[in-house]
Amino acid sequence: MKGETMRYQTFVLAGLGALALTACARKAEVASAPPPPGAVAGSVAADRDGDGIIDGYYTADGIYHPNYVPPPPPPPPAPSRTGERG
């Protein structure tokens, strides 16, 4: 009976020692990712139409800012039909 009590005391002492050492450990700092292009730091992404693509952002004051996507450039002009093979 005495041998079992000593074994439990050893495990309890080892467990308490490990617990005491983890309490003093430094906390790892988690690096946050930078906001995507066009976003403002501290804003929340919004998907207003539910298609899975971010449409804009809500800032801390609750204002919605849509992402501006510039229109595509016009198509190039059609080649002229004049010339050697035209």
| Cα 84 to the center of its chain, rounded Å | 58
Judge contact between 55 and 38, C-beta under 8 A: no
pLDDT at 23 over 60: yes
Q: What mean pLDDT do residues 9-36 have?
A: 73
Cα dist. 16→10, 19, 24, 67, 82 in Å? 10, 5, 13, 54, 91
pLDDT of the residue at 74: 93
Q: What mean pLDDT do residues 12-31 have?
A: 74
pLDDT at 22 over 80: no
Q: Label residues 25-43 b or e (16+ Cβ within 10 Å = b).
A: eeeeeeeeeeeeeebeeeb
- Token pair recorded at residue 60: 């801390």
- Token pair recorded at residue 21: 């050492």
Query: What is the tens place of the pLDDT at every residue in 29-80?
Result: 766 666 666 666 777 888 888 888 788 888 888 888 888 777 889 999 988 7
Residues in the chain: 86
